[in-house]
Amino acid sequence: MNNQEKEPLFSARNIKLLTAPLHKDNPITIQVLGICSALAITVKLKPALVMALSVTIVVAISNVVIAALRSYIPDRIRIIVQLVVIATLVIMVDQILKAYAFDVSKQLSVFVGLIITNCILMGRLEAFAMANRPWPSFLDGLGNGAGYGLILVIVAFFRELLGSGTIFGYPVMEKIGIYTTGYENNGMFILPPMALILVGLIIWAQRSKDRSLIEEKQS
């Protein structure tokens, strides 16, 4: 116990908690969690960014809370305790969004509420916060939120640029003057299947760049 107390706040191990989910342990492309929301709210960049922030905040704070409570939670009711913590935070995020960013909140519609069912949250609480101290859990939450957000923003960038011709609502394609050459926005990027294909392409690119991520063939 004493040994751990002396560990510096940003030791190599803790930094790794923060950076691993961005690439080698990404919640979407490696663990394949949270796909549902990645398809639903990535049509435009702004909602995607807000969603990424909301998830990051919720997963980081709930990780801290559960990590602090972990020795007092009876094993048999831990899921319900975790849900209570997540639900409280999600409702708070939802209310804040409604108060200060109503238009984005309307675009996100039920998907803010559905953060509760996002597998990444329960996954982190079960796999990490229940067995670690609050500070590493906080970093783990931030890292996973950021890893989720990173993919969301990449997908949303392409979907908004190619589907609507804008970036954060700014009409990039129109300013370039590409429409006069006969170019048209691709309607399929607005439909959810294209998000799935984009996530697949990201997984493809990631694995062909880092071959250690490819699973070995089961004989």
Partner 1 sequence: MNSLRKQLDKLRPHFSEGGRFQKLHSVFEGFETFLFVPDKVTFKGSHIRDNMDLKRTMTVVIIALVPAILFGCYNTGLQHFRSTGTDASVLQLFWYGFLRFLPLIIVSYITGLGIEFAAAQIRGHEINEGFLVTGILIPLIMPIDVPLWMLALATAFSVILGKEVFGGTGMNIFNPALLARAFIFFSYPAWMTGDKVWTKGLVSGANVIDGYSGATPLGLCAQGHTADLPSFMEMFIGTIPGSVGETSVPAILIGALILIVTGIGSWKIMLSMFGGGLTMALLLNALGTNEFMQLPFYYHFVMGGFAFGAVFMATDPVTASQTEKGKWIYGFMAGILSILFRVLNPAYPEGVMLAILLMNLFAPLIDYFVIQSNIKRRIRRLQAVNQ
The residues that touch partner 1, with contacts defined as CB under 8 A, are 182-184, 186-189, 191, 193, 197, 204
If the CB atoms of residues 16 and 207 are measured against partner 1, the closer one turns out to be 207
If the CB atoms of residues 4 and 181 are measured against partner 1, the closer one turns out to be 181
In the complex, what is the shortest distance from the CB of residue 198 to partner 1, in angstroms, rounded to a whole number? 11
For residue 175, the Cα-to-chain-centroid distance in whole angstroms is 31
If the CB atoms of residues 177 and 182 are measured against partner 1, the closer one turns out to be 182
If the CB atoms of residues 69 and 191 are measured against partner 1, the closer one turns out to be 191
In the complex, what is the shortest distance from the CB of residue 2 to partner 1, in angstroms, rounded to a whole number? 53
In the complex, what is the shortest distance from the CB of residue 203 to partner 1, in angstroms, rounded to a whole number? 11
Classified as helix, coil or strand, 134 is: helix
In the complex, what is the shortest distance from the CB of residue 185 to partner 1, in angstroms, rounded to a whole number? 9
In the complex, what is the shortest distance from the CB of residue 189 to partner 1, in angstroms, rounded to a whole number? 8
If the CB atoms of residues 103 and 174 are measured against partner 1, the closer one turns out to be 174
If the CB atoms of residues 102 and 183 are measured against partner 1, the closer one turns out to be 183
Answer whether 52's CB lies under 8 Å from 149's CB: yes
Among 196, 51, 52, 31, smallest CA distance to 124 is for: 31
Question: Rounded CA gap, 58 and 41, in Å?
Answer: 17
Task: State the sign of the Cα–Cα–Cα–Cα dihedral 127, 131, 132, 134.
Answer: positive
In the complex, what is the shortest distance from the CB of residue 162 to partner 1, in angstroms, rounded to a whole number? 9
**Residues near 189 by beta carbon (within 8 Å), at least 6 away in sequence:** 158, 159, 162, 163, 164
Question: Rounded CA gap, 15 and 91, in Å?
Answer: 30
Question: Rounded CA gap, 66 and 83, in Å?
Answer: 10
